[in-house]
Copies of this chain bind each other. A is one copy, B any other.
Amino acid sequence: MNEADNLIPPRSERRDAAENRQRILNAALRLFEQHGVEQVSMNQIATEAQIGPGTLYRRYRNKSELCLDLIKDNLVMVFEDIEEYLEQNRSASPKTRLKGILTLFIRFRETKTQLITGVEDTAQTSRPKSRTRSPLYDELHGLIVKQFDEITALEKVQMNTNSVFQADLLLTALSSDAYLFQRDVRGYTPDEIVEQLCATFIGH
């Protein structure tokens, strides 16, 4: 069960609905593990969960949302880890702390590569033009902006670069597309990618 869900809606979930939710999650987990996230269709998940396609789509508008639900808990944990790290390294330089954040995030990324790619794949037909990013994106973005701002404040030199822009750029480098390209085609290890990113965004 997902405790983060019942915070906003005061109305409780119907018992049968809750059961179906579990069936879906279990079925998806099973199929993803067996065949890989990309290879599994919403149809298969519905069949495996023994529900109709309509029921599946009522809860998750597409595979992307389903994947997100499957890593939501882990995502929350990562942010807690990062928060804790920042707590314990309050005295460290912002540059060090930024590197710490990146390392933590990429470590997580590596453990959930397939699901994260699944989350980002919103190649669906009915598009509300998701030009906008998720709240999760915004949270990580905010953390990074903060580090950039502290770096800028520390060094007298007035950077004429915008922290928000830089953070966006840094985060697109962590998207599945860009990240896996660097790792699998360019052949960098995760640590080397962190290294390169730090070198790019915070000189030497």
Contacts and interface: CB of A to CB of B under 8 A. Distances in A.
Interface stretch (A22-30, A53-61, A85-93, A173-181): A173-181
Contacts of A185: 131-133
Nearest to A193: B165
A38 interface: yes
Contacts of A175: 172, 177
Interface string A173-204: 10101101110111010000000100111011
A92 to B, nearest CB: 21
B196 A162 contact: yes
A123 interface: yes
Interface residues of A, number: 34
B123 A161 contact: no
A168 interface: yes
A160 B200 contact: no
A155 to B, nearest CB: 12
Ranked 9 nearest A-B pairs via Cβ: A123-B123, A161-B199, A172-B178, A165-B196, A160-B199, A131-B184, A172-B172, A131-B185, A161-B200
B133 A181 contact: yes
Contacts of A159: 199
A181 B172 CA distance: 11
Nearest to A38: B127
